[in-house]
Amino acid sequence: MLLEIYDFPPYGGYFDAHSIWHLATVPLTILWWSFIRDDAEFRTSSLLKKSKTKAK
C-alpha cells in the first residue's frame, strides 16, 4: 500500500512506484489463494469428520 501512497519517479525510466506495486501483487496473490485453498480443505475435512462422528 505504501508504494501507492508514496509515489516516486521512475528509476531508469522504467520502474516507478506503481509498476513495483503491480510486481508485488503477483506473489501476494499466490500466497492468498494458497491460503484460501488450504483453509477450504481444512474446513471441509473437519466438517466431514464431524458428520462421520454424528453418523455413528
Please report, to the nearest 10 degrees, the dihedral formed by the alpha carbons of residues 25, 26, 28, 30 taken in order.
150
For residue 32, pLDDT over 90 is answered with yes
User: Within 10 Å of residue 3's Cβ, how many Cβ atoms?
Assistant: 17
Cα(49)–Cα(53) distance, integer angstroms: 6
pTM, two decimal places:
0.62
Spatial CB neighbours of 3, under 8 Å, sequence gap ≥ 6? 17, 18, 20, 21, 24
Cα(6)–Cα(29) distance, integer angstroms: 22
Work out the average pLDDT over 22-48. Answer: 94
pLDDT of res. 48: 87
For residue 51, pLDDT over 90 is answered with no
For residue 56, pLDDT over 80 is answered with no
